[in-house]
Chains A and B, each alone.
Chain A
Amino acid sequence: MSHGPGGVSLVEASLAGAATAVEEARPGPAGRAAVGATLQPTLAELSRPGRGGGKVPHPPKDALDGIPADARRVSPLALPELNEPEVVRHLVNLSHLNYSVDTGFYPLGSCTMKYNPKVNEWAARLAGFAGLHPLAPDALAQGTLELMHELQGALAEIGGMHAVTLQPAAGAQGELTGILMIRAYHRARGDTERSQVIVPDSSHGTNPATASMAGYETLTVRSASDGGVDLEALRSALGPRTAAVMLTNPSTLGLFERRIEALLEVVHDAGALAYMDGANMNAVLGRFRPGDAGFDVMHFNLHKTFSTPHGGGGPGAGPVACVERLAPYLPGPLVIRDPDGRYRLERSDERPTAIGRVRAYQGNVGVLVRAYAYIRAHGGTGLREVSADAVLAANYLRERVGTAYELPYGGPCKHEFVASARNLRAASGVRTLDVAKRLIDHGFHPPTIYFPLIVEEGLLIEPTETETLETLDAFAEAMLAIAREAHDDPQRVLAAPTTAPVRRLDEASAARRPELRWRPMVGRETPCPT
């Protein structure tokens, strides 16, 4: 019998089936915390020699003859051997351990974990989309190409931009695409001295990472006391070496940048371009168009704003939209509608200024179908309601949570708000991390914590527009109950979570000495048959 990583047999623990096994679990010899009774043994641990399920046809006797002898395996692959019911139960039971937006409220700030309508899934599974080969000739892909062309147009309209690429596979890749386009723009003008990108201190960590990957030096400018970018700090950081300024509006504090016009004016006066991180578009859909405000290039997070699955259920998509002067540098191929009404992919010699492909094939097309379905299901009026309800829900929660937690910035907020447990920590020693862990016991996914970095003991809470008043109230009650517990019975909060499949994990050891794969399949325990 093989044993689990904590030295406690997971098979035995799950057979025991008692919740007390969680309490009794002790750190194993490797120093890792033992896992609870509701966790599942791995398939390798369930494996028994000779057990099997489906009937895989044997290859013809001469199938190996075409493979050089020295390239053939000398021992069989050590694949787990199980029958079908065991595999199904294993995976279904694992899925029961998942927390997702389909099982509960998921107020993860800056991530827009809205409900993903099932009609999107229906659309993406239509055989014409799901069964299309990525290398199918244009003539056989007219429906998909038409959808992509329309989505390019819809995103351009929503962003107030001129042209769109659907290729980037996520927001961070969209950022890199946008900054590489800006780099190409400056170089094409012979403007080669620009070596810096400016980001505010509240920015997503991907912004400085993007600048660095594109070969730029990152300068950080501080936020003003109202949470917006400090205009004077930006002005003094700008100069002939500034290639771009990356802003997020609304900001990661959930605040609309009130000085946006003045900020973009000084950016452009310095000859730099303005990149907008569109992660927070859910707050402003149908109300604020970055192109109208003067931004030059932006990305959308389809997996946030346009309700496609993410957070482990991805992949995502981070289309990039830009103004006319940057359009020559968009990665190719774009989807083009010819005068005869046919759709096709741009040819590689058609736009030699393009920065090149950033993603294989046409991006995550299944995600594009879902986002298109969402946009068309809502229409312009519906998308305006999305942003209105998202902002209303955030402000409602902000008012309720603010009765027990600090609110470092004045309201009203946009789609999310930042609260702080600094007061709790000072009074009781309970930190934001503990509040987050205790929320798990109350049945909620914790919000984003310790971000943005400029807020001490920060909690970034984003309810989205898809939650009912009852759900918002239940979450607020849980937050208030935890604040009371912190004063009356802090140990209870410090010990959380107590009802989850695993207890408090040792995150520091996990990060310092990560064990990235399951190991016991070596030596004597190797189930590999000979």
Chain B
Amino acid sequence: MNVPEDLRYTPDHEWVRADGEEGVVGITAYAADQLGDVVFVELPATGTRLSAGASFGAIESVKTASDLFAPLAGEVLAVNDALSTQPELVNSDPYGDGWMLRVRIDDPGSIDRLEDAAAYRTRIEAA
């Protein structure tokens, strides 16, 4: 299962690609595979405040529906509008075109408290 080295991860299977004060958020290839074909993604409006660990949206697949959890506290700068018409991008390219949010991170240091690729890989292999 693809777990890119340059990302940080949550136990709820979100990833963050941080670049200074900004970060991009999505869900992992493992999560997309577990969900199966994604049919709907509900994302917050630009400007929404995120608190770490709280739900920021929802994702639905043919199998199930699940909440999406914010990896970090911050503010939504942009959302991936393409997912409203092409939710399948989450399955086909979870770390690229299937991104969900671009956020301003309140505390850039908080990224270090998320799991690195090795820790996340260990987690999903144990599941």
Q: How far is the CA of A456 from the CA of B40 in the complex (A)?
A: 21
Q: Are B40 and A511 in contact (CB under 8 A)?
A: yes
Contacts of B1 in A (CB 8 A): none
- Verify B64–A450 contact, CB threshold 8 A: yes
Q: How far is the CA of A23 from the CA of B127 in the complex (A)?
A: 40
- Bound state CA distance, A450 and B87, in angstroms? 20
In the complex, the answer to whether B64 meets A507 with C-beta atoms within 8 Å is no
The 0/1 profile, CB within 8 Å of A marked 1, for residues 50-88 of chain B is: 000000000010111110000000000000000000011
In whole angstroms, how far apart are the Cα atoms of A449 and B36 in the complex? 13
Q: Are B65 and A508 in contact (CB under 8 A)?
A: no
In the bound complex, CA of A205 to CA of B58 (Å) = 13
* Complex contact A512–B87 (CB within 8 A): yes
What residues of A have a CB within 8 angstroms of the CB of B63 in the complex?
433, 449-450
What is the CB-to-nearest-CB distance from B35 to chain A, in angstroms, rounded to a whole number? 10
Interface of B is mostly: loop
Which residues of chain B have C-beta atoms less than 8 A from A453's C-beta? 64, 66
Return the contact of A511 from the options B34, B62, B66, B127 (Cβ within 8 A).
B62
Number of interface residues, chain B, beta carbon within 8 A: 14
Q: What residues on B are CB-neighbors of A451 within 8 Å?
A: 64
Q: Is B39 an interface residue (CB 8 A)?
A: yes
With the chains together, A433 CA to B35 CA distance in Å?
Answer: 13
Please give the distance in Å from B25's CB to the nearest CB on chain A: 21
Whether a CB of chain A sits under 8 angstroms from the CB of B116 is: no
Report B-chain residues with C-beta under 8 Å of the C-beta of A508: 37, 39, 62, 88
> What distance in Å separates the Cβ of B107 from its nearest Cβ neighbour in chain A?
24
Contact flags A431-462 to B (C-beta < 8 A → 1, else 0): 00100000000000000011101001000000
Which of B34, B64, B88, B127 has a CB less than 8 Å from the CB of A512? Answer: B88
**Measured CA separation A450–B60 after assembly (Å):** 13
Q: Are B64 and A511 in contact (CB under 8 A)?
A: no
B65 with A511: CB separation less than 8 A: no
- CB-based nearest B residue for A514: B39
A contact residues around B39 at 8 Å (CB): 508, 511-512
Expressed in whole angstroms, the minimum distance between the Cβ of B99 and any Cβ of chain A is: 19
Collect the chain A residues with CB atoms within 8 Å of residue B36's CB.
433
Q: How far is the CB of A9 from chain B (nearest CB, A)?
A: 29
How would you classify the secondary structure of chain A's contact residues: helix, strand, loop or mixed?
A: mixed
A433 CB contacts on chain B under 8 angstroms: 36, 63
Contact B60 A511 (CB under 8 A): yes
Closest chain A CB from B126 CB (angstroms): 13
CB distance from B1 to the nearest CB of A (A): 14
| Residue of A433, A449, A453, A511 contacting most chain B CB atoms (<10 Å) | A511
Tell me the complex Cα distance, A480–B60, Å: 31
* B-contacting residues, A479-520, CB 8 Å: 507-508, 511-512
Bound Cα distance from A451 to B66, whole angstroms:
13
C-alpha gap A507/B38 in the complex (Å): 10
Contacting pair A507 B65 (CB below 8 A)? no
Nearest B-chain residue to A508, judged by Cβ: B37
- Binary contact readout A394-436 vs B (1 if CB under 8 angstroms, 0 otherwise): 0000000000000000000000000000000000000001000
Q: Quick one: which of B105-127 are within 8 Å of A by CB?
A: 127
A205–B37 CB distance below 8 A: no
Q: Which residue of B lies closest to A208 (CB)?
A: B67
Inter-chain contact A205/B62, CB cutoff 8 Å: no
Interface membership of chain A positions 294-315, coded 1 if the CB is closer than 8 angstroms to chain B and 0 otherwise = 0000000000000000000000
> Which parts of B2-26 form the interface with A (CB within 8 Å)?
none
A205 to B63, CA, bound (A): 13
In the bound assembly, the distance between CA atoms of A398 and B39 in angstroms comes to: 33
Bound complex: CA A326 to CA B37 (Å): 44
Q: B37: which of A450, A456, A507 is its contact (CB, 8 Å)?
A: A507
B127: chain A residues at CB < 8 Å are: 456
- Nearest-neighbour CB distance to chain B for A507, whole angstroms, equals 5
CB distance from A420 to the nearest CB of B (A): 13
B60 contact set on A, CB distance < 8 A: 511
CB of A389 to closest CB in B, whole Å? 32
In the complex formed, the residue of B with least CB distance to A431 is B36
Tell me the nearest residue of chain A to B37, going by C-beta.
A508
Task: Give the residues in chain B near A449, CB-CB below 8 Å.
Answer: 63
Contacts of B65 in A (CB 8 A): 205
A521 smallest CB distance to B (angstroms): 27
List of A residues within 8 angstroms of B66 by Cβ: 453
Q: Which residues of A contact B88 (CB under 8 A)?
A: 508, 512
Q: Which residue of A lies closest to B34 (CB)?
A: A456
Q: For B54, give the chain A residue with the smallest CB separation.
A: A217
Shortest CB distance B40–A (Å): 7
Give the chain A neighbours of B64 by CB distance below 8 A.
Answer: 450-451, 453
Using CB atoms, name the residue of chain A closest to B62. Answer: A507
Q: How far is the CA of A508 from the CA of B66 in the complex (A)?
A: 16
| Closest chain A CB from B39 CB (angstroms) | 4
How close is A505's CB to chain B, nearest CB, in angstroms?
A: 10
Determine the distance from Cα of A507 to Cα of B36 in the docked complex, in whole angstroms: 11
Q: Among residues 224 to 269 in chain A, which have CB atoms less than 8 Å away from a CB atom of chain B?
A: none
Minimum Cβ distance to chain A for residue B9 (Å): 19
Contacts of B34 in A (CB 8 A): 456
Interface residues of B (CB under 8 A from A): 34, 36-37, 39-40, 60, 62-66, 87-88, 127
| Additional pairs, 10, CB under 8 Å, beyond known A449-B63, A511-B37 | A205-B65, A433-B36, A451-B64, A453-B64, A507-B37, A508-B37, A508-B62, A508-B88, A511-B39, A512-B87
What residues of chain A have their CB less than 8 Å away from a CB belonging to chain B?
205, 433, 449-451, 453, 456, 507-508, 511-512
6 nearest A-B residue pairs (beta carbon) = A508-B37, A511-B39, A450-B63, A507-B62, A512-B39, A508-B62
Q: 5 A–B contact pairs at CB < 8 A? A: A449-B63, A456-B34, A456-B127, A508-B37, A512-B39
